[in-house]
Amino acid sequence: MRDEFRRFLMLEKRLAGNSVEAYLRDVDHLMRFALSRNIPPDDVTLETLQQLLSELNNTDIAITTQCRLISGWRSFFHMMVIEDILKDNPASLLMMPGKPRHLPDVLTDSDIDALQATFDLSRPEQFRDYVMIEVLYGCGLRVSELVYLKLSNIYAEEEYLQVFGKGSKERWVPVNRRALSLLDTYIHQIRSHITPLPGEERYIFLSRRGTHLTRVRVFQVIKEAVERAGLQKHVSPHSLRHSFATELVENGADLRAVQEMLGHGSIGTTEIYTHISRQFLRDTIKSYHPHYKLHEHRR
């Protein structure tokens, strides 16, 4: 059943690898809980699920984890309904807890400059890391999208990156000339001296050993740069993505365009990333509302 669920998540739900593994772990947890009470998988009820959630709540699990658990269980039992193993989905009536909307710290242009100034560009690995930060901030990529970016995904003449996001969904993200120039330098002057291991030849960002970088390594690179720069902010790769979106919106970009560039399925998700400053809102209404224009003209 586990293998069937994996295939269902990958082929039907088109989930990314990390999400698939998380859902599998969540269902494994549920199955262990059910078996400890002598309940076979096809006899799990809404009450069983509520009991497990209640136990987990006593351990103070995060709301986001609860939401993922419920989503995974719903998918699992939905598959069982499709396969005619169950008539009804016992997880369909589980209520999702309200998700808190936490905004990451926003980095200013000067913050980005301070981060990048900490890299010694004469050192190959630090030049690579400098370029990664430029691409993350300049294109708003997820860290998983960055580490799996391939040489064939660069369309330099068109000034676009071909990106495959969650669920392998394709999108085209504009890339600025500065980032393209840095990528070109890295690829032809630094990466060209690395011998990729078999299967790693297509990836852009490589380690000295010839393997593509991991998400953990990118987190470490940014953490170390933040410490060197002395920034008093909690910064992660996601902070660069959030800062990318915030800069666009505060400078007047259409929210739908930002949604497309970030690869969000819902405009509501984009709104979480784009907290707009009060000054920007005030300037906007002063520029476009006729009563504000009239008042300013009379002063």
- Concerning whether 29 is annotated as a catalytic residue, the answer is no
- 142, 191, 212, 242: which one is catalytic? 142
6 annotated active-site: no
Is 241 catalytic? The answer is yes
87 annotated active-site: no
Q: Which of 166, 215, 217, 275 is catalytic?
A: 166
Q: Which of the residues 160, 238, 275, 292 is marked catalytic?
A: 238
Q: Out of 74, 128, 212, 241, which one is annotated catalytic?
A: 241
Q: Which of 74, 191, 242, 264 is catalytic?
A: 264
Give one DSSP letter per residue of the chain, joined into a string.
-HHHHHHIIIIIS---HHHHHHHHHHHHHHHHHHHHTT--GGG--HHHHHHHHHHHHTTT--HHHHHHHHHHHHHHHHHHHHTTS-SS-TTTTPPPPPPP-PPPPPPPHHHHHHHHTTS-TTSHHHHHHHHHHHHHHHH---HHHHHT-BGGGEETTTTEEEEE-GGG-EEEEE--HHHHHHHHHIIIIIGGGS-PPTT-TTBSSB-TTS-BPPHHHHHHHHHHHHHHHT--S---HHHHHHHHHHHHHHTT--HHHHHHHHT-S-HHHHHHH-PPPHHHHHHHHHHH-HHHHHHHHH-
Annotation marks residue 264 as catalytic: yes
Residue 187 near residue 194, CB atoms below 8 Å: no
Q: Which residues are catalytic?
A: 142, 166, 238, 241, 264, 273
